[in-house]
Structure 1
Amino acid sequence: MKLAMVINVYIDTKINKKNKFDHPTDFDNFENENTFVKTIASINKLRKTEDDLSLYIFAVAAGEDRSHDQEIKKKINKILRKSSYPYYLFTNSDVKQLNDYAKSRFFSVSGYPEIRNLGLIIPSLLNEDIIIQIDDDELLRKDYLMTLKRILKDNPDKYLFTAPYEKNGTTEINNKDSLKSWRKFYSMQKDMNRLMKDQSLKETLFGFGGNMIIRNELAENSLYPSGVPRGEDFSYLLANRLIYENGNPEAGIEKKNEIYKAYFSPLKELTIIHEPPAEAKSNFLFYLEKNLKRFIMEWSIFNKQDNLSVSELKNLSYYLAEMFGYDDFKSKLLDIIEEVKVNYDSKTAENFEKEILSFYDQCSKINRFELYKKDQSDYIDFLDNWKDNNEFRELLLSFKINRN
């Protein structure tokens, strides 16, 4: 079996300029601040199976900046000298090269979901069987691969798995909610209580992008919804479930196709140790804005389909239902905005209100579910068109570096 472990490394080359990433590593201080070196060390300690494991590293500078890519490659390669596994390394410039060659919008580093899609596309084109997506601030336990292989063998009819984060020694989400009207952490922990109550696999829409396991059959037939500012992991699970419930005739996908269902494994061996360099919510209002925009986008895809009800959504994820499961979502947003007005000065609150309501108005006019289904159809066609192109395959293989 061929395994691809995809690791995204986010880098800030313009430290004083706001960017889309939650906590990118400062380029100028990369050697001292990066968490990638610990991630690679944990991978090197994995108990090996007889399977072929390759690493796929996407070292992405914020803002699609390509001016430091050669230096970024040197920094990443220096760490990967100690890798026990062969690896592929892609920077923004490399993705641009692939885009120029294939003339495809799917080769993009414009945001989190677009970068995640690269981690589906390239391993799929290189015929990897299993794709494991993690980030550069996550550590794997030594039995991760052995446990993963057992779960895959025991569940040949399941194609998408998620598993927990452990942070500060616990998988519980202990953060306190800053707003009574927006119970993000409370609702996440409510999901975790259900998912962690025993050792069984459970159907879910709850997952962390840094711990996603995807069979090739699904990776070739689904993609992350574009444009989501954060939480792309949940957006991916939601989009897949909506395809399961509704089908996608344009892509030849019938309703109730089992490959689009996701399962959560609570096993400790699959639980990733999460050591982020900084908290994404350190600037709370910016964090809230990104999240509300994300949930507006998820509401606008959920609200345009017919076959998954709010009550069914709630059974799969109380968290997602709490965040956007409303017929009148605008009223919910206004409740949150009113609480922001109490806690922030009038000018800041006014700008926040304008930004959120303007974004809501834009999204409410768009049928994001139809757009996603069109993207999915185009994505499947794109992979079909390029899968057997030997010249393009050789180009992708040119990014591989073998290790002894």
Structure 2
Amino acid sequence: MKARKGGDLRELVRRAVSAGGIDDSSGAQEETTQMCLVRGGKRASLLQRRTRTRPPDLTHSIFKRRLDHAAVGAPFRNAPVTNFCMLISAVMLPSTCVVVPTYWSRAGGASCAGDAVYDHPTAVDAPSTLDALLESLEKLDTRTFYLLILVAVTGADVARDAEARVRDLVAGYPGVTSLVFGPSTLQVLRERLNGEAGEDRTSFLDLARYPKIRNLQLAIPLTLGSQAIVALDDDEIVTDSAFLRKATEPLGTSIDGRVVDGLSGYYLQDDGGILLRIDPDKSRSPNIFDRKASIMNAATEMLQRDPGDIVLTPFCFGGNMEFTPELAASVGFDPQITRGEDIDYLINARLEGKNIFMRKDLRILHRPPAGGSYQDASWSKLEQDVMRFTYEREKLLISQTVPDLRPLTVEELMPYPGEFLSDNHEEDAREALSAARYPEDIDGFLRHTTETAREKIDEYLRFRTSWPNVTARLRDDAGLRDKLLSRMRGV
């Protein structure tokens, strides 16, 4: 068996060498083969099994396509032989990354001052919604994707327990190739990216706060050379066996002369529909914040009326969102957003001339626990909505004057989020905050929100130019890629 495994792997390496145009005059092929067998027996066995299921010409074309791609091939073309085993692993890694952030708190749900705030973190000693998602993913064709799980915590003292809990959950699904990315792996990324100079290039990559976590869901797949990124949330269940095909098939194609840079789909509600349940009294209110769910439904109904199965959209859902590597590398999640980072990302993408579409039949069951639903109103969520919509309006205003931004108007984002970006939203915000018994000075809060939104714009303009530089560095970092691959389960 060992000899046959070695023979299969030698042929695999020979094809990789040939496809990559790598000079083998020094006998590197045999040395690499032996190293892969000795140091990566499990990996070699997996490669052997995968290769046997593919015709030789297809295996060769996979190597060539992946090696020709700058994110994977370029760093390895002239790499020393010691990196070659990782090259083979990178090439054979499925090209689609399914990424899921999961949020954890202390046992019993205990909180402390200074904790990161999430909608519904799971206590490390409580049942997790992640288990149901993993079970649904295992029913898909697991050869077509690998899973990246980002472990976010409310406080540093729970990090070890949370990471251990997630690893235990993932271990129950051995058929899924996976990487659990927790605080320990984040430290590796920081050391690689910041280097010896001490320059902080990771300020917008973190396992705390939604937009910084979302940036990791782009950065890590880019580092691993993924060709499609499918972002889900840990309170969802995949019910459609064709979900991944629907999620990735349109990426990079053109519709009506526009490139599909990104994609989104709907959340299925418990009743099987895609419309939010609404409070009849609030739906008749003249206040846009009371009518938020109704306005969101109106946006959905507008898209459903538009001809075609895949249509340009003014809104998206962060737990059912897909990215080309080009979009992920050029547009990041603004780290200054505290809520609604998915809508903000769509706006950022539009400002950069990128297009995000809605696929009408791309649907995932959304089952948030109590306290994590759009129906769970609080003055805190309302406060954050007012802050983010004020900030988004400032982005639209500066898009009219900054030369390299695509001008974007409120009308292009109607009815949602456009209704909340109009001139009169401040009066509605004042009324809604008063009705919600906001504990602070409302007028003072609104003035401060407007002032800080304008101040944040300069920081956003710096971020939008920094993000492509950071992602380019990550895509060229073969050493970091090696470290991530070595921590991956099932490769």
Instruction: Report the alpha carbon displacement of residue 332 of structure 1 after superposing the two structures with TM.
Output: 2.6
1:214 to partner: Cα distance:
0.7
| Alpha-carbon spacing, 1:349–1:386, altered in 2? closer, same or farther (3 Å) | closer
Q: Secondary structure at the match of 1:400?
A: coil
Q: Which residue of 1 aligns with 2:19?
A: none
SS for the counterpart of 1:119 is helix
**What percentage of residue pairs aligned between the two structures are identical?**
23
Residue 225 (structure 2) pairs with residue 127 (structure 1)? yes
Alpha-carbon distance between aligned partners in 2 of 1:233 and 1:118, rounded to the nearest angstrom: 14
> CA 1:127–1:36 in structure 2 vs 1: closer, same or farther (change >3 Å)?
same
Rounded to whole Å, the distance in 2 between the matches of 1:393 and 1:7 is 19
Matching residue within 165, 173, 185 for 2:267: 165
> What does 1:95-244 align with in structure 2 at a 5 Å threshold?
95-103=186-194, 104=201, 105-140=203-238, 141-152=240-251, 155=254, 157-168=259-270, 169-176=272-279, 177=282, 180-181=286-287, 182=289, 183-197=291-305, 200-244=309-353
Find the counterpart in structure 2 of residue 401 from structure 1.
489
Q: Where does residue 379 of structure 1 map in the other structure?
A: 467
- Identify the structure with bigger relative contact order (alpha carbons < 8 Å, sequence gap 6+): 1
User: Matches of 1:16 and 1:229 in 2, distance apart?
Assistant: 19
> Which consecutive unaligned segments of at least 5 residues does structure 2 have?
1-93, 195-200, 401-406
Q: CA deviation at 1:155?
A: 4.9
Tell me how far apart the structure 1 counterparts of residues 190 and 394 of structure 2 sit (CA, whole Å): 29
How far 1:50 moved relative to its partner?
5.9
Instruction: Tell me the alpha carbon deviations over residues 253-296 of structure 1, each in whole angstroms, 9 at most, x when there is no partner.
Output: xxxxxxx11110111xx201000012335351111112111212
| Partner deviation per Cα, 1:124-160 (whole Å, 9 max, x = no partner) | 0110000000110011122212333543486594221
1:257-336 to 2 correspondences below 5 Å: 260-267=354-361, 270-280=362-372, 282-306=376-400, 307-314=407-414, 318-326=415-423, 332-336=425-429
Change (3 A) 1:129 1:338: same
Match of 1:7 among 86, 100, 121: 100
Q: Please state how far the C-alpha of 1:305 moved relative to its aligned partner.
A: 1.1
Pairwise CA distance, 1:189:
0.6
SS of equivalent residue, structure 2 residue 250: helix
Residues 353-393 of structure 1 show CA distances to partners (whole Å, capped at 9, x for unaligned) of 53343222221344x2x543432221211222232222222
Which consecutive residues of structure 1, in runs of 5 or more, have no partner in the other structure?
245-259
CA distance in 2 between counterparts of 1:164 and 1:98 reads 33
CA distance in 2: counterparts of 1:342 and 1:74, whole angstroms: 44
Q: Which moved more, 1:164-173 or 1:302-311?
A: 302-311
* 8 A Cα contact 1:58 1:90, kept in partner: yes
Moved segments of 4+, more than 4 Å: 152-156
Alignment counterpart, residue 85 of structure 1, candidates 173, 176, 184? 176
Number of the residue aligned with 1:361? 451
- Superposed CA RMSD in Å reads 2.4
Is the partner of 2:330 in helix, strand or coil?
coil
- Indicate the SS of the match to 2:352: helix
How far apart, CA to CA, are the structure 2 residues paired with 1:10 and 1:175? 27
User: In 2, Cα distance between the equivalents of 1:335 and 1:149?
Assistant: 40
Output the TM-score relative to the length of structure 1: 0.84
- The structural deviation recorded for 1:188 is 0.5
Q: Which structure has the larger Rg?
A: 2
Q: What are the superposed Cα offsets for residues 90-118 of structure 1, whole Å, 9 maximum, x if unpaired?
A: 12343234223322223323311110110
Asked whether the equivalents of residues 210 and 338 of structure 2 are also in contact (C-alpha less than 8 Å), the reply is: yes
Aligned to 2:207, what secondary structure does the other structure show? Answer: coil
Q: Distance in 1 between matches of 2:489 and 2:215?
A: 22
Q: Contact 2:265 / 2:358 at 8 angstroms: preserved in 1?
A: yes
1:332-343 paired onto structure 2 within 5 Å: 332-342=425-435
Letter in 2 for 1:359: T
1:289 touches 1:356 (CA, 8 Å); kept in 2? Answer: no
Q: Are positions 1:71 and 2:174 aligned together?
A: no
**Alpha-carbon spacing, 1:287–1:339, altered in 2? closer, same or farther (3 Å):** closer
Q: Which deviates more from structure 2 when the two are superposed, residues 201-210 or residues 379-388?
A: 379-388
Give yes or no for contact 2:378–2:436 (8 Å, CA) kept in 1: no
Distance 1:180 1:12, change over 3 A: farther
Q: Partner letter of residue 127 of structure 1?
A: G
In structure 2, relative to structure 1, the CA distance for the partners of 1:398 and 1:277 (3 Å cut) is same
The Cα shift of 1:338 comes to: 2.9
